[in-house]
Structure 1
Amino acid sequence: MSELDAELRADLDRFREDFGRLRSEISKVIVGQHEIVDGVLTGLVAGGHVLLEGVPGLGKTLLVRTLASVMHAQFSRIQFTPDLMPADLIGTNVMVEAEGGASRMFRFERGPVFANVVLADEINRATPKTQSALLEAMQERSVTVAGTSHQLEELFFVLATQNPLEMEGTYPLPEAQLDRFLFKLLVPFPTTDEIETILDRTTESTTPETRRLFEPSRILEMGKLARRIPISDEVRRYAIHVVMATHPEHELASPMTRQFVRFGSSPRGAQAVILAAKITAILDSRYHVARADIRAVATNCLRHRILLNFEGQAEDIKPDAVIADVFDHVGEAQMA
């Protein structure tokens, strides 16, 4: 083993250790939801954004607040409502008196998006105009007000929560904004044992406390390290084939894709799969990406990037079922 390889492996061992410390610290407050916690942490390290979907009361808000506290990060919560305006998110210019009071000038007052961790709570309760105000911030990591661009924090992580669309008072997120999320995670209802633990923690006089583990700069270092994990041409092609198989007009399209899908994943979906798979490989103590890593993350990366056609909606087909069919079809096609 070369000296460089030894140094890289030592860095990856520290990566796993720090990831585990984050996971353990969050578990002091969040009961269960291990896959959700790992998904949120993976999205954070990968430099992406995460969308959580679930009914109210499952701890989505508590999770992101806890995450910010253990990282010593600047945290901001935005409660999305139908009357929320774009300026309420990104900020606005206000007129103030110059020093001495001889004249007046405009000064930019920052909005709540200027933070390390931004919780967009119940994002689908705001109107599409306000939802779209997050687009530039999420993609460009900057906002533009009155022709002037303002850079956001270097570590900028949006964790949005939304209620299922069948609940009253919700607006579907635009496809362009959905594509900005690395993951869409479905938050399950807790088990009976987990509810008992939740009651023990929340109905007693003592409440769990978390420690601040490290600065946001460590998350940036972990993200850069994850990108150094190699991936073979064969595994990369497998990931590409999985994404292309979500397009009904493509020759690799699976049977369910051809029947129920209107539009498949964008290239961002392939980028998300590769980045998340690299982090999954590190956590599994491997120094290369395998097909199993692609399969482990693809559903979370692609479920919000698949748009069903009328027949798929009428038959209540779930994107997860389409992705499972894609896995079967791509595997058979490559074996043929």
Structure 2
Amino acid sequence: MTQKNNIDLNAGREKALHFEQLLNSAVIGQVQAVRSLTIAIFSRGHVLLEGDVGVGKTTLLRAAARLLGGAYQRIEGAVDLMPSDFLYHAYINEQGQPAVAPGPLLQSEEKLAVFFFNEINRARPQAHSLLLRLMAERSVNAFNREYTFPHLTVFADRNRLEREETFELPAAARDRFFMEISINAPNERELQRDLMFNLRFQNTDELIENLPSSVVAYDELNRLATAVQNSIRAELPLQDYALNLWNALRNPTEIGLEIEDVDITRLIAGGASPRGMGMLMRAARCRAWLEGRDYLTPDDIRAVFHDTVAHRIFFTPAYELRRDEIAPRLIEGVLGKISAP
């Protein structure tokens, strides 16, 4: 597996693994999360991080943006945030006259590589609606023209704990995130010691600035990702395995799945869409590439299944409040019930 469409896939893989290594040096104890983030970026997918306060969500996303290079912008989620705040801001100029300047989304135009939406669940649905188009089409309309962002990756994070003055993401917006990745504090004592006493991890700005910039050229990712997807083959038994997983997610009663304290017949309201399952396969192919193979295995699918699929399954109201508890058990049960080739 060397070249596809004039792209050196081996050289690209070495860059991707170096990218992953540098992320792991910046945010320790998050090896699985870093691998998932790497897969999402090299699959050209948007990423939502979820976790407790102070576990490194923002640091991880800022580090990834630094390593990608290109223009970087961010916006803070707030109750009073409106779609216009993404596009422009009004001010009084030096002549004392009202003036309008481009907002964070429009300042760099096509050079925008990363747009970071901090604490996305603090924003109202009106802001989420603009984000939906941005993620789906990588474009917005403003000032009587269309702005396109062909190299854009949207990063967002969400605080798992606080629920006051927050808004749930609509299903359509959640489905547009390629992956939803959980970030938890490490349990290993030595890593905990490092985070508490190593001053390197207590100055985020300096930590990010010490990372090399543009390790991966942001404007080459589209071509590289396309070449990766076209280079990985899926044999028929593997395709059948993926289809069986999809159908089991949609109808878990048909495989006899049981979850304690859950009425399976009343659990699923919707989700596991064709688009979502297509993203699952994109992630699996990227994982196979990172592992140095040009073919898929069941392990590739299983490794990315939770982060790619869990947030696309929507439960009935009776169970939605228990999502954090039930979703992992559902995923584990489906993977356990469906035999791999």
Q: For this structure pair, what is the TM-score category when the shorter chain's length is used for normalisation?
A: 0.7 to 0.9
Q: How many residues end up aligned between the 2 structures?
A: 319
TM-score of the pair, normalised by structure 2: 0.83
Alignment gaps of 5+ in structure 2: 94-98
Report the Cα distance in structure 1 between the residues aligned to 2:7 and 2:151, rounded to whole angstroms. 24
CA-to-aligned-CA distance 1:106-133 (integer Å, 9 cap, x gap): 9883542652111111000111111221
User: 1:246 is paired with a residue of what secondary structure?
Assistant: helix
Deviates more, 1:301-310 or 1:210-219: 210-219
1:28 maps to 2:25: yes
Which residue number in structure 2 is paired with residue 193 of structure 1?
Answer: 190
1:109 maps to 2:102: yes
Which residue number in structure 2 is paired with residue 238 of structure 1?
Answer: 241
Report the Cα distance in structure 1 between the residues aligned to 2:101 and 2:249, rounded to whole angstroms. 44
1:289 maps to 2:289: no
1:328 maps to 2:336: yes
Code of the residue aligned with 2:307 in structure 1: it is: N
Which residue number in structure 1 is paired with residue 96 of structure 2?
Answer: none
Which residue number in structure 2 is paired with residue 101 of structure 1?
Answer: none
CA-to-aligned-CA distance 1:122-148 (integer Å, 9 cap, x gap): 000111111221011100111023663
Which residue number in structure 2 is paired with residue 38 of structure 1?
Answer: 35
Which residue number in structure 1 is paired with residue 116 of structure 2?
Answer: 119
TM-score of the pair, normalised by structure 1: 0.84
Is the CA contact (8 Å cut-off) linking 2:74 and 2:104 kept in structure 1? no
Alpha-carbon spacing, 1:107–1:232, altered in 2? closer, same or farther (3 Å): farther
Code of the residue aligned with 1:66 in structure 2: it is: A
Structure 2 matches for 1:93-172, cutoff 5 A?
Answer: 109-112=102-105, 114=109, 115-145=112-142, 148-152=145-149, 154-164=150-160, 167-172=163-168
1:10 Cα shift?
A: 9.2
Which residue number in structure 2 is paired with residue 318 of structure 1?
Answer: 326
Report the Cα distance in structure 1 between the residues aligned to 2:21 and 2:163, rounded to whole angstroms. 33
Alignment gaps of 5+ in structure 1: 97-105
- The equivalent position to 1:16 in structure 2, one of 13, 16, 36, is 13
Code of the residue aligned with 2:102 in structure 1: it is: E
Deviates more, 1:112-121 or 1:256-265: 256-265
Report the Cα distance in structure 2 between the residues aligned to 1:315 and 1:28, rounded to whole angstroms. 34
Q: Which has the higher contact order (CA 8 A, sep 6+)?
A: 2
Structure 2 matches for 1:175-324, cutoff 5 A?
Answer: 175-191=171-187, 192-198=189-195, 199-200=197-198, 201-202=200-201, 207-208=206-207, 209-212=210-213, 213-228=215-230, 229-248=232-251, 251=254, 254-256=257-259, 257-313=264-320, 317-324=325-332
1:78 maps to 2:75: yes
